[in-house]
């Protein structure tokens, strides 16, 4: 089980350091059998890395460029993230697909570059409300998985995050059955793409308005292997309550 926090574009120095310290203390407070990841904005990565010291929480970034270095003003390469102590990078988040016109093919290039740099990837997929209402959820998500993952992707390097766009930051969620249906379909697509064994091992997280009150239900579904948490990851008490309620 993985509990991952995506802080998005939030947090100045003091907020980020405090949040990381609080989470470190709370995670250490009891024996836990889950993997924890926090993904602060680029500006906080170094400071949060220091604040997490001594704990078992992995550091992740929220995006990277597909190139190792070069003339890409304002971008950050996967090698730079690795150098800062990141072990994960989130790629293909719907906010990047929407705000920066990232296609699945481009996400796939980033995934490859991240793996080459020694990072693990959290690859996001998910349908819009319009696509859901048109009955295209499974088609859209299947296609995103096929196109965003490189051939031969391994469960040790890739985590999928299913995040319905309409559930992000809205307080709305699909029903547990709807979540399970998508996750099972994703695993089926994965089995065809990377083989049954790797597909069985690959973690598929749910994201979109995860909070302490729905964590137990969402994270006990057979094909749900954890959560990617936005808003509720900005409060240590909520982030930890989600983990606790999920049995972590």
Binding-site ranges for ligand 13P (CB under 6 A): 6, 93, 163, 168-169, 207-210, 228-232
Distance CA 194, CA 199 (A): 6
Catalytic residue among 93, 102, 183, 198: 93
User: Which of helix, strand or coil describes residue 25?
Assistant: helix
Cα distances (Å, whole numbers) of residue 152 to 8, 105, 191, 202, 230:
29, 15, 11, 12, 29
Residue 80 token pair: 């730079």
Question: Can you say whether residue 74 is alpha, beta or left, with left for phi > 0 and alpha for psi between -120 and 50 degrees?
Answer: left
163 is catalytic: yes
Angle at 97 between CA 95 and CA 98, to 5 degrees: 65
| DSSP secondary structure of 82-96 | HHHT--EEEES-HHH
CB of 143 to ligand 13P, least distance (A): 20
Among 35, 163, 183, 198, the active-site one is 163
In terms of CB distance, is 153 or 232 closer to ligand 13P? Answer: 232
Q: Taking CB positions, which residue lies at the least distance from ligand 13P?
A: 230
CB of 73 to ligand 13P, least distance (A): 26
Minimum separation from the CB atom of position 105 to ligand 13P (A): 21
Which H/E stretch holds residue 203? strand 203-207
Distance of alpha carbon 189 from alpha carbon 147, whole angstroms: 11
Between 63 and 157, CB nearer to ligand 13P: 63
Q: Is 183 a catalytic residue?
A: no
Q: Which is nearer to ligand 13P, 70 or 171 (CB)?
A: 171
**Which of 63/163 has CB closer to ligand 13P?**
163
- Please state the closest distance from residue 93 (CB atom) to ligand 13P, in A: 6
Query: Catalytic residue numbers?
Result: 93, 163
């Amino acid at each position: 089980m993985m509990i991952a926090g995506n802080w998005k574009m939030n947090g100045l120095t003091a907020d980020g350091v405090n949040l990381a310290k609080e989470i470190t203390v709370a995670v250490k407070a009891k024996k836990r059998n889950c993997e924890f990841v926090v993904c602060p904005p680029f500006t906080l990565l170094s400071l949060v890395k220091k604040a997490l010291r001594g704990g078992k929480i992995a550091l992740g970034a929220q995006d990277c460029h597909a190139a190792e270095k070069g003339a890409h003003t304002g971008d950050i390469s996967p090698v730079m993230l690795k150098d800062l102590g990141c072990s994960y990078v989130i790629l293909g988040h719907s906010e990047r697909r929407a705000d920066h016109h990232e296609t699945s093919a481009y996400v796939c290039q980033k995934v490859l570059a991240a793996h080459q740099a020694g990072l693990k990837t959290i690859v996001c997929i998910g349908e819009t409300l319009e696509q859901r209402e048109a009955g295209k959820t499974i088609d859209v998500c299947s296609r995103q998985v096929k196109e965003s993952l490189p051939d031969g992707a391994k469960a040790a390097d890739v985590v999928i995050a299913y995040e319905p766009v309409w559930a992000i930051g809205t307080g709305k969620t699909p029903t547990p059955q709807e979540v399970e249906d998508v996750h099972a379909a994703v695993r089926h697509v994965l089995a065809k793409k990377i083989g049954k064994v790797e597909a069985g091992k690959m973690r598929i997280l749910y994201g979109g308005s995860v909070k302490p009150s729905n964590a137990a239900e969402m994270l006990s579904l057979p094909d749900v292997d954890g959560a990617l948490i936005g808003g509720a990851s900005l409060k240590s008490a909520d982030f930890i309550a989600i983990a606790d309620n999920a049995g972590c």
